[in-house]
Amino acid sequence: MEGTWDAFSWMGTEVEDLLLFDPSPARFGAVCEALEEQDPSITVIAGDNTVGADRFVELPLHFDDVRQMIQFGIEGAVEQELVEIGDLVLCLTRMFDGEGDTLSRVRVTEGNRSGVYDLFVRSGSQPGVIRDVFEVAIELGKKGQKGSPVGALFVVGDSETVLDLSRALSYNPFERSQVYVGDHIVTVMLKEFSKLDGAYIIGDDGKIESAYRYLEASAEGVEIPKGLGARHMSAAAITAETDATAIVLSESDGLVRAFKRGALMMEIDPDRY
């Protein structure tokens, strides 16, 4: 790790913070030792704080898009007041096969806030619910239905309003149940039910309120990227009219996408997760 401070110097001595993404204990120790007498603070961005870092931002998912991962880490560090707007940070990430093989120099500004951090932390749902829904969608995307791709739409949070803006397409298999996203059996159930149309409605606590719902929110003024279909438009529209978050598994390209406030916030490829 002797080259770490050299990299700081080469990229600008005004760098104030180093963000380490998912380091091993050995890598974290080596970086701390290399920068022991230098100015930059070290913040770890990872799923768990296995290295015992004093400055830590929890990463809820594995982001296959490095840019989105960096945005999440920076926004989380700003939210926790570990870095400030205007700071120049250096991000050490893994892009190839090595551990921490890529350095990115980023100026923290209000303009580069993507909303990815807010998607998980300020969703209104209990901690972990958005993450659990993502993981269900990713699992469905990996396995499909008997080897064939499936599509699915999950609307999370503000469930009473969402139910008012939707109607039943069929019976609700969850009407008298107490089934929560994150339960072991849920993925199996949702995989079977995904053969039928309609959205899953999930409460802020993770309880599955309904399946087979047709969303009736207006799409007026809502714009989504070209190439995305009706399921994505419904997701964008319902989040524009409510405080819900919508997570879509696309049957056509297999990607998992999240919508909030009528806009596409992020996408994940299940095959790279």
Do 112 and 127 have their domain in common?
A: no
Q: Which of 102, 118, 134 is the last residue of a domain?
A: 118
If you average pLDDT over residues 215-219, what whole number do you get? 92
Q: Which of 93, 118, 143 is the last residue of a domain?
A: 118
Do 137 and 71 have their domain in common?
A: no
State how far Cα 97 lies from the chain centre: 23
Do 82 and 198 have their domain in common?
A: no
CATH code of the domain in which 127 resides: 3.40.1700.10
Residues 29-72: tens digit of each pLDDT: 888 887 776 667 899 999 999 999 999 999 888 787 888 889 89
Do 258 and 128 have their domain in common?
A: yes
pLDDT of residue 173: 84
Confidence label for 111 from pLDDT (cuts 50, 70 and 90): confident
Q: Which of 54-63, 66-75, 116-125, 173-182 has the lowest mean pLDDT?
A: 116-125
C-alpha distances (whole Å) from 174 to each of 18, 125, 182, 234 are 47, 19, 15, 22
Structure-token pair, residue 18: 């180093």
Q: Could you say which DSSP state residue 180 is in? A: B
E strand intervals along the chain: 17-21, 41-46, 56-58, 88-93, 102-107, 152-156, 166-168, 199-202, 208-215, 245-249, 256-260, 263-268
**What mean pLDDT is reported for the chain?**
85
SS3 state of residue 194: coil
Whether the per-residue pLDDT at 10 is higher than 60: the answer is no
Q: How many CB atoms lie within 10 A of CB 154?
A: 27
Q: Which of 120-134, 150-164, 224-238 has the lowest mean pLDDT?
A: 120-134
Do 241 and 185 have their domain in common?
A: yes
Do 155 and 231 have their domain in common?
A: yes
Do 75 and 189 have their domain in common?
A: no
Do 102 and 207 have their domain in common?
A: no
pLDDT of residue 57: 94
SS3 state of residue 105: strand
Tally of structural domains, the chain: 2
**Of 261 and 94, more confident:** 261
Confidence label for 81 from pLDDT (cuts 50, 70 and 90): very high
What is the DSSP track for 195-259? TS-SEEEE-TTSBEEEEEEEE----TT----TT--HHHHHHHHHHHHSS-EEEEE-TTT--EEEE
Closest by CA position to 59, among listed 102, 89, 113, 21: 21
pTM, two decimals, is 0.79
Q: Report which residue type is found at 88.
A: L
pLDDT of residue 135: 87
State how far Cα 213 lies from the chain centre: 24
Do 195 and 256 have their domain in common?
A: yes
Q: Which of 86, 118, 150 is the last residue of a domain?
A: 118
Do 33 and 99 have their domain in common?
A: yes
Write out the residue range of the structural domain in which residue 99 sits: 3-118
Percent of the chain with pLDDT over 70: 89
Do 84 and 134 have their domain in common?
A: no
Q: Say how far apart CA 10 and CA 273 lie, in whole Å.
A: 33
**199, 232 contact by CB (below 8 A):** no
SS3 state of residue 18: strand
Do 165 and 221 have their domain in common?
A: yes
Structure-token pair, residue 28: 């974290």
CATH code of the domain in which 21 resides: 3.40.1380.20
